[in-house]
Chains A and B, each alone.
Chain A
Amino acid sequence: DTAVSQTPKYLVTQMGNDKSIKCEQNLGHDTMYWYKQDSKKFLKIMFSYNNKELIINETVPNRFSPKSPDKAHLNLHINSLELGDSAVYFCASSQVPGDREAETQYFGPGTRLLVL
């Protein structure tokens, strides 16, 4: 019954490797997000997709590339991993943007990435 799921939960890898994190939501939401939470717990948005289209792209290195095969999935691919990429990555989803009604974002459990 998981609303927003992410895999893997933990990811330990060497510097320079390429890795992907997958996210799926079964809430029927149109918008999905990727956030990065650093070691100081600061949560910052990276990307947002609405119906498979990129709508928010914050200042993120080109090594990070989101891909949305359909509106229920938003994957994050990271090339040439660096030490500074170590963080917790959260996927989230919400209803249609631009709607000024309540737009609560529901979060996945997070993926703890450690780059050695």
Chain B
Amino acid sequence: AQKITQTQPGMFVQEKEAVTLDCTYDTSDPSYGLFWYKQPSSGEMIFLIYQGSYDQQNATEGRYSLNFQKARKSANLVISASQLGDSAMYFCAMRESSSGGYQKVTFGTGTKLQVIP
């Protein structure tokens, strides 16, 4: 079974509009973390936002917010007021314990977001 599922291979959004990128996860670890990374066409991986499984409030970082619904095992990324520079691949990732007690991060397949002027 997929640990991290991103069902939207590609998305379009009008500049200045908000957009939601979907992410669902699967884990039996009671303590885990969820991340979103951005990969622009230049190739680097840029950390955007983190949500801990015990965090009571949804994480926010500037125009990025994470809509965390624990019971539904979803961690959607919301980008408000989209900008042309937001066009990129977006990866959802999850940190959980691996065998041996160490933390392991698994990435989803990514969503390619294109912002239209």
Contacts and interface: CB of A to CB of B under 8 A. Distances in A.
Nearest to B110: A41
B25 interface: no
Interface stretch (B12-20, B69-77, B79-87, B98-106): B98-106
A27 interface: no
A100 B31 contact: yes
Contacts of A104: 35, 47, 50
18 contacts: A41-B39, A43-B45, A48-B104, A50-B102, A55-B102, A88-B43, A90-B45, A98-B101, A98-B102, A99-B103, A102-B33, A102-B50, A102-B52, A103-B105, A104-B47, A107-B37, A107-B47, A110-B43
A50 B104 CA distance: 12
Chain B, interface size category, equals: 20 to 34
A16 interface: no
Contact of B44 (A43, A48, A110): A110
Q: What is the size category of the interface that chain A forms with chain B?
A: 20 to 34
